[in-house]
Structure 1
Amino acid sequence: MSPRAPVDDLDARLLALLLERPQVGVLGASRELDVARGTVQARLDRLVQQGVISSLAPTLDPSAMGYPVTAFCTLAIQQQAGHEDLLSHLQGIPEVLEVHTITGDGDLMVRVVARDNPDLQRVIDLVVSTGVVTRTSTVIALAELMAHRTNALVGAAVERSPSVSGRSLTP
């Protein structure tokens, strides 16, 4: 017996529904998908446990919240310095949205938001204030051409699964 695919047809239909209408709820999803409420809840629980769904929280738009400037900062850090202290520092800055370790010229990629360019300078000054950062390079995003998306991954995961290929993803 082959291992179970992380996402099957019902999972994909559930994920597509939640991405389209996140407020649907478990009961609404069970009605839309024509499955038992307990089945929907069990699927959600499993998807959360497997890390497919990290949370069921709403997606917030920083721009609509008064932070229209998005920037990406590449940080080079002292090699003997641990990431833990710097990460703790960055977590204390509300305008820091993401931190990733990277390959290339820097060590970390940090996505930040700001109210305007002078505020961005304040945020960058906070980011580098620990003394651990040896070099930084910042680029400002001018326009978002494609927002963060995962919808296409749902369909692709199902298409790669031999047990469910060819089935429709429409709820």
Structure 2
Amino acid sequence: MPVDALDARILRLLLEQPRTSVREYARILGVARGTLQARLDRMEREGVTTTAGPRVSPAALGHPVLAFVRVEVTQGHLDEVGQALAAVPEIIEAYSITGGGDLFTRVVAKDNGHLEDVIQRLIQLPGVVRTRTEIALRERVAPRVLPLVEAVGRAAPSGPRAAR
């Protein structure tokens, strides 16, 4: 779905001021509340935005260690291993990938010993051949999409959207 300049401005406001009301967004953007709501509904329907709750910090929950674990899987067992990973609460993301390994996971732990326990649990899953772990030392760029929204907004056509 193409994003136009107004969509990009809306997305920027959503990211910069997530607790603001739709009425206030419309006022800031200088558009009718109905226009803004229709844009928000369309972007959610088309998967540009998703309904989100609060961001929860694993570190604040007592899991300050972050590691990235690549998991090599026996051929034909990717779905089975993926489902098993979903049962491990310390795995907060998992993706099937190309390159070295078959799955890339983001794992949190209480300490290095706990991380080792989680990795041992992964190694014992049927279909897991081996793992490779890299521990994050410090976050250098927090999860973000605002720079991408701004770049898309600069490249997007301005003016009324084309008829659908």
If the TM-score is normalised by the length of the shorter chain, which range does it land in? 0.7 to 0.9
- Cα gap change, 1:128/1:48 in structure 2, threshold over 3 Å: closer, same or farther? farther
Structure 2 residue aligned with 1:168 = none
Of all paired residues, the percent bearing the same amino acid is: 44
The CA RMSD measured in Å over matched residues stands at: 1.8
Tell me the equivalent position of 1:125. 120
Letter of the 2:116 counterpart: Q
SS in 1 for 2:72: strand
Partner of 2:51 in structure 1? 55
- What does residue range 85-124 of structure 1 map to in structure 2 within 5 Å? 85-124=80-119
Cα distance change of structure 1 residues 42 and 127 upon mapping to structure 2, 3 Å threshold = farther
The 3-state SS of whatever aligns with 1:138 is: strand
Given the two structures, how large is their TM-score scaled by the length of structure 2?
0.87
Q: Give the SS at the match of 2:21.
A: helix
The answer to whether the Cα contact below 8 Å between 2:9 and 2:153 also exists between their aligned partners in 1 is no
The superposition leaves residues 104-143 of structure 1 with CA deviations (integer Å, 9 ceiling, x where unpaired) of 2211111111111111112222333322110110010000
Distance 1:115 1:85 in 2: 27
TM-score (norm: length of structure 1): 0.84
From 150, 157, 162, the equivalent of 2:145 is 150
Structure 1 gap segments, 5+ residues each: 166-171
Q: For 1:139-164, what per-residue CA distance to the aligned partner results, in whole angstroms no more than 9, with x for missing partners? A: 10000011111111111112222x22
2:73 to 72, 77, 82: 77
Cα 1:24–1:87 change in 2 (3 A) is same
Bigger mean CA deviation after superposition, 122-131 or 88-97: 122-131
Q: CA deviation at 1:89?
A: 1.4
Alpha-carbon shift at residue 10 of structure 1 (Å): 1.5
Does residue 7 of structure 2 align to residue 11 of structure 1? yes
SS in 2 for 1:23: coil
